[in-house]
Chain A
């Protein structure tokens, strides 16, 4: 069964500094999607970044980038120039595709990121 593991329950970063959140996953599939979602205190889930497994190039969205290591089944999120608004719970997620017919997200346990001014 597919699993997603986030080994850092909490992290802290100084404003303007860089922080990396870790995520590992387990799967026997070769084609899949990985995501990082942000959940601020409002509880609204916000998609931060997405990576397609067949793409070797790491995804980047402004200050957010990933380090995708397919062989190691690792998918870390780097936040550069951290801002106070980045403080939130971050969830790593893996998407299962059943024969292209449907999809299902498996979430990690989350990392609570605090940003210190």
Chain B
């Protein structure tokens, strides 16, 4: 149980375009989902926390207009990187929890490359 999927697993896009990453909880309903960013050989940095049906809470230094997060249902959250640039190239990981204070279950990650 407690499986989280991400789609796509890899994506390459051109600079200036937008790309959407999906995070789904497959066998549970997630009231809270988290989005992390991980640069090569570095740790996970929390970008934002999203609660179903409400606006996401962004960490300091994360541009909310660039990284659009939508958590429209209890099983799906999306991260849209708008007007992507090469410096946005990274590994993006989502996690989900049944309740905000519960265990986080991680997705397999999405590797974004912006050319």
List A26-67 residues whose CB lies under 8 Å from chain B: 42-47
Q: How many A-B residue pairs have CB under 8 A?
A: 47
List A64-117 residues whose CB lies under 8 Å from chain B: 91, 97, 100-105, 107-110, 112
**Contact present for B93 and A45 (CB under 8 Å):** yes
Whether A44 touches B104, Cβ cut-off 8 Å, given contacts A91-B43, A107-B44, is no
List B24-81 residues whose CB lies under 8 Å from chain A: 32, 34, 38, 41-46, 49, 51
* Smallest beta-carbon distance A17→chain B, Å: 25
**Contact present for B108 and A43 (CB under 8 Å):** yes
**Contact present for A102 and B93 (CB under 8 Å):** no
**Contact present for B108 and A44 (CB under 8 Å):** yes
Q: Bound state CA distance, A73 and B42, in angstroms? A: 23
B contacts with A, residue count (CB < 8 A): 23
* Smallest beta-carbon distance A7→chain B, Å: 14
Q: Assign chain A's interface to a size class.
A: 10 to 19
Q: Bound state CA distance, A73 and B41, in angstroms? A: 25
Chain B residues near A44: list those with CB within 8 A. Answer: 106, 108-109
**Contact present for B109 and A102 (CB under 8 Å):** no
Q: 7 extra interchain contacts, Cβ-Cβ under 8 A, other than A44-B106, A102-B49, A105-B44?
A: A44-B109, A45-B106, A46-B106, A100-B101, A101-B100, A102-B101, A107-B44
